[in-house]
Structure 1
Amino acid sequence: MAHLEKAKLVVIHPSAREATFEKELFSRSLAEVKASDMSGTLDWYRESKLEDGTQYQHERFPYALIGAEARWGSGLHASAYLEADGKGLLLAAKDRYYYYRSEKLMLRMEVRE
């Protein structure tokens, strides 16, 4: 991902915790992400469509990152979503999904007690 100067975090589900996008924190975390296994994601997706399903109440990817673009030359045009725990990144391209995990937070998250 590149051109983070205009990037903004948008809450897209009411289950999202208060979070803040900080370009430097995100960039440092992004440099250390690893491609991860998406097994179970289709089950999560199906459950999230059911209004009374448990996933409906707690969205797995409640944040969208808008204004950021793929690196020049990558040819990737994707929507970016951040996981509720602040450590997962889902890139949704036209015909594929890419899922990455970080050991560290990519967002400034509120502390829950």
Structure 2
Amino acid sequence: MFNFNYSADAVSIGLDAAVWGLIGLAAFILYKRQQVKPRVWKVVVVILAGLFSFSFNWELSGTLLKFPVLPLGVWVLYGVLKREEGRWDRYRSFAWLGFAGNFIFLAAALVSMPLYAMVYPESDAATHIADADQAFIVRVHPSGEEGQILDRDRLVEQVPSMNREKVESDVWYEQMYLKSDGYKNKNERFPYQVVGVSSKWGSGMEPVIYVEGDGKGVLISTSREQYYFRFDESIIKEGAAR
């Protein structure tokens, strides 16, 4: 399989493009050194085939990394090309360049992790709530009041001053259970959800944002973590439901 991952965020896309550019430059240099020039399209096919390898996966900080072990593509190319004298010699360097590309993509993935964290800090509310022009609120639990609407301006104004607090799931569950007179989930702490909010451009994030019953807190759920923020003024108000 290919040993690189595609990610929708701008950092990974930029690094992937840089890696392909580096591989292309290396292929150009190798091609110029060849006394007998192979066809360009065949060189491209050989490089892509060389990328195939047996690898083992390791997840680091929510990112799946693939470490190449066996050059399956190179072995297959060798078996096919050696049948004609001199053909393997013409394409051997390009096949190994393809396999080496796996390590370059791996290095790019490792570089992208701290770089992504710097550009798009997940613990910063502004990363997840960058544009609320099309946002609205929906009730996702019966304990929430009907007819509530989102105050978009107040939401955007308070994003820079949101205070991050600890997510205390166990404590919240106990409080909810006690206030519900033993009926589980009768009083949900986050009965609303904000829909239509855009995260920071290029982050590739699609968080789910829940709003606390008093409108003064949000729980942002990503594929990796949950973040709880409190602020001074409620972002919900009474009005006609959308």
Measured against the shorter chain, the TM-score band is 0.7 to 0.9
Alignment of 1:8-47 (within 5 A): 8-18=136-146, 19-39=148-168, 41-45=169-173
Aligned to 2:206: 77
Greater RCO between the two (CA within 8 Å, min separation 6)? 1
Gaps of 5+ in 2: 1-128
CA contact (8 A) 2:152 2:235 kept: no
Match of residue 7, structure 1, among 135, 140, 143: 135
- Partner of 1:60: helix, strand, or coil? coil
Shift of 1:43: 4.6
TM-score by length of 1: 0.78
Q: What is the RMSD of the two structures over their aligned residues, measured on CA atoms?
A: 2.6
C-alpha spacing 1:35/1:78, structure 2 compared with 1 (3 Å): same
Structure 1 unaligned regions, length at least 5? none
Runs of 4+ residues over 2 Å off in structure 1 = 42-49, 52-55, 73-77
2:192 to 63, 67, 89: 63
Are the equivalent residues in 2 in contact too, given 1:86–1:106 (CA < 8 A)?
yes
- SS where residue 103 of structure 1 aligns? coil
Give the direction of change, closer, same or farther, for the CA distance of 1:108–1:48 in structure 2 (3 Å limit).
same
Give 1:7 deviation, angstroms. Answer: 0.8
- CA contact under 8 A between 2:215 and 2:234: conserved in structure 1? yes
Contact persistence 2:139–2:191 (CA under 8 A): yes
2: CA distance, partners of 1:58 / 1:10 = 16
Structure 2 distance, partners of 1:92, 1:23, is 20
SS of structure 1 residue aligned to 2:158 = helix
| CA deviation map 1:56-98 (0-9, x unaligned) | 1111110011111211244533111100110111110012001
Tell me if structure 2 keeps the 8 A contact 1:21–1:108: yes
Please point out which of 92, 96, 99 is paired with 2:228.
99
| Offset at residue 53 of structure 1 (A) | 4.2
Residues matched between the structures, number: 108
Query: Do the aligned residues in 2 keep the contact of 1:10 with 1:64 (CA within 8 Å)?
Result: yes
* Greater C-alpha radius of gyration: 2
TM-score, scaled to structure 2: 0.39
Instruction: Indicate how the Cα distance of structure 1 residues 24 and 54 shifts in structure 2: closer, same or farther if over 3 A, else same.
Output: same
